[in-house]
Structure 1
Amino acid sequence: MKALVWHGTADIRCDTVPDPRIEDGRDAIIKVTACAICGSDLHLYDHFMPGMKSGDIMGHETMGEVVEVGRDNTALKVGDRIVVPFTITCGQCDQCRRGNFSVCERSNRNRKLAETAFGHTTAGLFGYTHLTGGYPGGQAEYLRVPFADATHIKVPHGVSDETLLFLSDILPTGWQGAVQCDIQPEDTVAIWGCGPVGQMAIRSAILLGAKRVIAIDRVPERLAMARAGGAETIDFSQDNVVSRLNDMTGGKGPEKCIDSVGLEAHATGSLDSMYDRVKQAMMLETDRAHVLREMIYVCRPAGVLSVPGVYGGLLDKIPFGAMMNKGLTLRTGQTHVNRWTGDLLRRIEEGQIDPSFVITHTVGLEDGPAMYRTFRDKQDGCIKVVIKP
């Protein structure tokens, strides 16, 4: 089959690789009908995340049709249409029973590596480094789904792939980012990053009843999309974010802050951003923490910081004294996808949200390598790329 394969920094190729096969009785094989490039994939493309090996298949936003089912999998049958959550979940461990699917205790087949890096294992993830299991991803013609009786979202026929695909990651990720804020009717919610996750967080915060949503980015197309979704916007290349947010909130700051950026934060002319880039180059830190610092400084005392943006390693110069003395609450985590998808599928079917609004480019697998660069460099108005194998 054809698949998008990682060969090193900024080196993704469309290669011919072996077809997946059933390896366990709970497995399923799907024929991929749609997949997407995620902002988290760019962390691998730029090689900010450790644990990648040449030959790894990319991708963790995938859906398709079941073409083969393991002997012990009674939840699926050939012909079922499913979206595949990016988190691989056994459905049986203590964390899965609690609904904490992104920290499943059984699905990471390289759990010793994860325990060394993080203290405890996380769930296995598709197409996302050997720290999370080294599982082949879904930017391919076919995908093996481990623990497929638990790791799936069964979806109806007759609704487009484009409408349902983002149940795999960015819609529940934006939703969890907003839910973690415990949004109240009088709240102002500030959201850093107007990429795909930020766009979903904007609409989620509005659906959850926020009084105001203020979105921060510098890319005109992203800012325009944020305004179309109901947000006020700040262009951080033109304004000081902390000063502007204080002005917009009467000096109080937003009650809730969401980091939809993660480890590759950009800033315009800030000393801390230059500091981060120097330390990254010297391998003295792995992640750029500019957004986290801004959120801590500007968030209203007793407010909430929610971090759906991905971080991979070590940060420096975090103003933790400000966080503690202001009484801020920090909530983080990879997305517990299956915790939210039943409600989100209902909202899609009822017309409350159509996640396909974020798509700007649709291509075949052979065009995937070039689209990685287009997406990373924000060229051609690119906000979200869907791939049709």
Structure 2
Amino acid sequence: MDTAAHKKNLSGGISRRDVLKTAAAGMALGTGLIGMPAIARTRNISITLPWVVNGSNFWPIVGKQKGFFSSRGINLSVSRGNGSVAAAQAVGNGQFDLGVVFFGGVLVNIARGLPLQILSTVAYDSTMGNIVLADSPIQDPKDLTGKRIGIVATSAEAPYWPAFAEKTGIDLSKTTRQQLDARMVERALIEKQVDATTGIATSSLPVLKSLGVDVRFIPWSKYGVNLYASQIIAPTKTVESDPELCQAVVDGILESVIYTLKNPEESLEILYKEQPEIGLTKGGKENAILSQGLAQATMMGEEMFTHGMGHSDLAKIDAMIKMAADAGALPEGAPLPKAEQIATNRFVGKLRIEDSELATIRQSLAPYIAMTGG
């Protein structure tokens, strides 16, 4: 999409240049802007989620229903994604105006040369880790030495398994890495074809719990192997040419997140109405409740408590970039960006939750925080 066409698309069919031309013509005729069409004040904006709409990512849909975007002049359309790498690529290629994706997917695409910017961090722990059955003798990372570890090669956490092993003293030469299909990873654990799996807690734990399987999670973040999770991103050219749009979308999304944190049950009712198949699928609602709670637990980062909703710690992002490079998760030979080049806090910090409310929210999320090892 060329720049002019992109600007028209972002403004709902009328660019800023068109508005100025019309204003100039109106002034020449002595009529001003009286009679300007209402469409000039409404933007049709598209965003992509990282995956299918579920309890961990549906807050933009809640915000759309509650009017948090229309009140800011935005007619929002929300689409499912096919993984964070593909979703970030779609934003970088202009298929969507903005996106909500995991940091790992954003970083890979930036390293490949796509000009993307991180506008806000919504969740601070991607919840990479190992999952074992509740009655497993594996209690500590070192206990994984000599065991069968089920791994999906294309999963988000797979590249960081060696880094976790190195940090925790797991002897990979004595450990069996068993390649699994993404559709079979939970089943392999249930049937004890493997002793443990690697996984993302917010994805795998709701599936296992909704099936009635009792498991334990060993979080990698506890040992310094962590990436940020959900982030709001936009093409760099949009940030430069239309910061007002970026601000409006970030504010709308963060207000949506706050609503779901304060009103989890009401928010899920909106999800069930928008995605009725969730209520028709066995364990669907339980999965939604669990995935919402686990995702909200990852939002309870010190960054949010200290600086307000959406804040990104640039020093932490620099450390994440280095870890990704060391793990071989980035294209070989790609120049490593600096956090200040790819992330900004200019659009965040305005929306906060009162300390008393945060304490109540954190207390209600205690079971989910415990499930992720927090």
Identify, as 1 or 2, the structure richer in helix: 2
Does TM, scored on the shorter chain, surpass 0.5? no
Which TM-score applies when normalising by structure 2? 0.26
Which TM-score applies when normalising by structure 1? 0.25
Could you say which structure has the larger radius of gyration? 2
